[in-house]
């Protein structure tokens, strides 16, 4: 159960970080250079959070939780690696839809961690 509490905290922090990204990109398109200067480090921060999330999701799974937490986190990690690469190469036709997918998956995953299905069942 203790790993689920930590997983919730990390998943929510990660979801908040990725949800900030479209707002910063939009502010940049409105002329704010400062927004783009924040977009990059927050993106790297989100990638760091998803690495931490992978560690916690693995501990959660090994303590009796659902393995799907690890699978979803690995998918997020891969998507964010791709996202960083296509962002630096300025491929906005890919960067935007991949970003939308990351935001959706991260938010759904964070919400899932609060559902009863996420609770670890202690064997009796």
Cα torsion 43, 46, 51, 52 to 10°: value is 150
Residue with tokens 């924040």: 38
What's the rounded mean pLDDT across residues 7-18?
98
Helix (H) or strand (E) holding 76: helix 68-88
Residue with tokens 């670890």: 120
pLDDT tens figures, 82-114: 999 999 999 989 999 999 999 999 999 999 999
Number of domains, the chain: 1
pLDDT for 31: 87
pLDDT at 77 over 80: yes
pLDDT for 29: 84
Closest by alpha carbon to 111, among 76, 69, 52? 69
- pTM for the predicted model, two decimal places: 0.91
pLDDT for 35: 87
Q: How large is the angle between the packed helices 2-29 and 33-62, nearest 10 degrees?
A: 160
**Structural domain contains residue 121:** no
Main-chain dihedrals φ then ψ at residue 66, nearest 5 degrees: -80, 135
Domain membership of residue 36 as a residue range: 2-114
pLDDT for 122: 61
**Structural domain contains residue 24:** yes
pLDDT tens figures, 24-66: 988 988 888 888 889 989 999 999 999 999 999 999 999 999 9
- Structure tokens, 5: 């509490």
**Structural domain contains residue 124:** no
């Amino acid at each position: 159960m203790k790993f689920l509490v930590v997983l919730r905290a990390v998943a929510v922090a990660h979801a908040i970080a990725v949800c900030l990204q479209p707002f910063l990109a939009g502010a940049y398109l409105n002329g704010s250079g400062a927004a783009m200067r924040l977009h990059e480090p927050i993106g790297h921060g989100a990638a760091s959070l998803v690495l931490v999330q992978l560690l916690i999701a693995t501990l959660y799974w090994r303590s009796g939780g659902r393995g799907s937490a690890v699978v979803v986190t690995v998918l997020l990690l891969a998507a964010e690696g791709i996202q960083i690469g296509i962002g630096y190469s300025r491929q906005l036709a890919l960067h935007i839809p991949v970003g939308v997918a990351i935001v959706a998956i991260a938010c759904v995953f964070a919400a899932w961690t609060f559902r009863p299905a996420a609770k670890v069942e202690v064997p009796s």
